[in-house]
Each structure stands twice: as C-alpha cells, then as structure tokens.
Amino acid sequence: MVGPLESDHTILAMSEKVEILSDDFDPTAVVTEPLPSPVTNGGGERVMVLGRNVHTTSLAVTEPESNDEFTGDKEAYMASVLARYRKTLVERTKYHLGYPYNLDFDYGALGQLQHFSINNLGDPFIESNYGVHSRPFEVGVLDWFARLWEIERDDYWGYITNCGTEGNLHGILVGREMLPDGILYASTESHYSVFKAARMYRMECDKVDTLISGEIDCDDLRGKLLANKDKPAILNVNIGTTVKGAVDDLDLVIKTLEECGFSHDRFYIHCDGALFGLMMPFVKRAPKVTFNKPIGSVSVSGHKFVGCPMPCGVQITRMKHIKVLSSNVEYLASRDATIMGSRNGHAPLFLWYTLNRKGYKGFQKEVQKCLRNAHYLKDRLREAGISAMLNELSSTVVFERPKDEEFVRRWQLACQGDIAHVVVMPSVTIKKLDHFLKDLVEHRSIWCKDGSQTPCLAKDVGTNNCVCPAHK
C-alpha cells in the first residue's frame, strides 16, 4: 500500500488519476491497482507528456463527518498528515542542490503577522481603499534596490512581484509599450519566461546565439540588429543564465546597439537578474548593473538569494516609462501598473526583515562564501575526473549529467541535455557538498562498470573544461 507522503515523486503516465488517501484515515478509500511505468522515449530517457505525467500520490479533500467537531478525529488526522509532510520537507531540504533557493532563514519573528490577510493591490506608491496592506515595507524594500542599482528615488517606479517570471513579463511589457513595433532579442540561454512574454504579447522575437559560456554572442546580435535596422530593439540581458549562470556583457550589448545605429530612444533593455542581479553588486571587478547606463528595467527574485520562503521578486523601472502603462482604477482608488491585481502583502515583510538583518555587508559575506564554495565544488569534481565548468561571476557549477534519474531526483539536480548543475547558495555548506561528491563518485563508479568512457562535454562546457579522453 502506498502511503500519503512519499519523499521521491515519480513522474507517471496514467490514463486516469489514481486517488490515494492516508491509510490511517480511511483504508477503504485506498486504490491498490498497479501503477503504470514512466513514459520513456526510444533511448529509455524519461519524457514529459502533457496531461499524463502525475505524482504517484494524492491527498484527497474530504467532507467532515457530522460528529467531527466533538470527536476531533478530522483535526487529528490533518495534524498527522502535516507532521509527516514537515518531516518530508526536512528530509528533502537535506538534498537540495540543483535549484537557486536560499534555504537558510528564520522568520519566526513574523509569525505574529500570519493571521492577517495582507494585500498590496494596486500601485505601491498610492494607498488604496483597502487598509490591510504593507506598502510602507514594500516601498522601503524598493528604495533599497533603487540605491543598489543607482537610480534616484523620484526617477524610479517598481513593485514587489509574485515571482521572477512576473518581473520579466513586466519589464518586457514596458519595453513593448515604449516601442510598440520593436523586435525582442534574447539569447537562446534566456529563461523560458522571456519567450513566454513574446508569445503573450504577440511580439516578434529573434533568438541570439550564445558563447560556450552561455553568454550572449554579440557578433550574432550585431548581425540580427543590422538585418532589422528599421525596427526598434527590445533586449533581454541575462544577469546569470538559468543553466550555466552566465552573465551577459551589458556594456558590450549597449556598444553593439550604438555601433549598429540604434539611438537610446530606439532601444529598451530589460535586465533579468533573477539570481545574480543581487549577487553581482558584491563581486569585485564585476561589471555594474546600474540605471546610470541606458537600461529600462531590472528584476530579481526574492526567494532565491535573499531567501524569502514564498516566491516573490522585485521589479524596478524608470518613472517616465511606467506612465505609458498605468491607468486609473476607481474601484481601487489607485492606479493599475502591475501585471497582477492582488499582490502578496506578506512578501514585502519577509524581504524588509531580511534586508534589515543582513544589510549590504551581510550580503557581501554571503556572496563571497557562495563563490568560494562553488570553486571548491568545481575543483573537487575535476579532481574526480568529472568534466565541470564554473563561469567567472557565477556560483552555478555545471558538470556531466548523472546517468541515474533516481540520483538526479534524490539531489534535485536541474538537467538539460548532457549536463546538470548545482547552484551554490548561502545554505549550501562544504559538508553538504562533500556528501554530494562522495555520493556522486560512488554511484559513478557503478555506472561506469561496463567500461564506458567519460562522456565528451566539449560542446557544452568547452574543451578546457572537458576531461574526456580526447580533451584531457
């Protein structure tokens, strides 16, 4: 019998949903029919089939019994389910390496505010008729990021988003409203939300090639810009790509635009700084992301490096740009300039709390720790005979994809093609990295028992980072 909470989720192809309930709640409701096998392609690799891949477990929502309020059985059942779920979260957090979330936080002081429905609907700078909000905290957070990215208080507009994707959707929308007939240029390594924005806004989109590092290829960008000189350019610049952690050269992108004849009023640059947008300001010799340069907007995620426990983000643009997007909403007694209507009013509290506790110096220490630990992981992988790459301004370590999908799921690795990566965050310690390395080396010795050679990753990480027989 399958329990209600499994630590590993298997993606299954199913014609119908299999409903599985807690066996200590209603054993008669448990369906014990055999579960089908995962969908695989001809090479045995797991594939995703829309509508057919589901979790193996489901916690049903059931109606309370008539005497539940007297017996307390339902409350006891729910308490036991939540307790087991917490245990699962604790266990899975121990093996979290592939996604850029900082799990090192303590927000116990904010527990007293969780009993309120806090909603920051509308413009953060205009108080609406809804009084249970956290706008003073939100504006305080926005001011902090405005100082970080060097834009005067009266010159910027921004808001706390529900996630990094919303920041990209908003930044690109502002660009589209500023330059309605503009072409969106984004590197092939850009986050999928950038191309989602192009589809949503029905924008012409030109994908630009990348260098082996994952950074945008400005030679290819130049060719595409020259081929479309009659149309304005809207660019997405990556401050840390999703897979390789590559940072696009903002200065070179601007120089390329100018050399191709694009005046500053004929291009708009959105900087997607989901993870590294907050790390780069604290890296010595790193190029600056600043509004002193001709950029239109910057967005970062709040649940990544900052360590907010719920998805959120920060989007900053120029005040003069937002005027083309906003409109009055009498119902709110505010202005509508955001993507979403209702916005999580708790997220600004968490961000404000962390920024105050850590400050610039605290973040600088954490950035330095992440970069040190990332170099440690890369060096240990190479010593173990495993191809690995680490970009100069990054804490994302790229290496050969493990051959066992169970191993990938156990360590929650993000994979693409022949490569996987570990994102070294403040919560990732040397002890955890050593545990991972030991586990990887042990499993790899089993995978290679058949005499198979180290795979060639030159096309993904470059010949200098590949340790296959041909490139040693």
The vertex-132 CA angle with 339 and 144, nearest 5°, equals 60
Helix (H) or strand (E) holding 384: none
Task: With CA atoms as reference, report the closest residue to 273 among 301, 254, 253.
Answer: 301
Confirm if 172 and 236 have CB atoms less than 8 A apart: yes
Is the CA virtual torsion 3, 4, 8, 14 positive or negative? Answer: positive
User: What are the φ/ψ torsions at residue 32 (nearest 5 degrees)?
Assistant: -110, 15
Residue 356 CA to its chain's centroid (Å): 23
Whole-number Å distance between alpha carbons of 446 and 449: 5
Task: Find tokens 């022949």 and name the residue.
Answer: 418
Please compute Rg for the chain using Cα positions: 24
Whole-number Å distance between alpha carbons of 326 and 193: 22
Confirm if 394 and 245 have CB atoms less than 8 A apart: yes
The vertex-470 CA angle with 469 and 472, nearest 5°, equals 65
The vertex-37 CA angle with 51 and 34, nearest 5°, equals 100
Whole-number Å distance between alpha carbons of 300 and 144: 13
Whole-number Å distance between alpha carbons of 148 and 153: 12
Task: With CA atoms as reference, report the closest residue to 314 among 123, 142, 96, 71.
Answer: 142
- SS3 label, residue 298: strand
Task: Find tokens 């059985």 and name the residue.
Answer: 73
387-420 burial string, b = 16+ CB within 10 Å, else e?
Answer: bbbbbebbbbbbbbbbeebebbbbbbbbeeeebb
**Beta strands of 180-305 (E only): which ranges?**
183-187, 205-208, 233-238, 267-272, 297-301
The vertex-409 CA angle with 408 and 413, nearest 5°, equals 55
Residue numbers annotated as active site = 394
- SS3 label, residue 467: coil
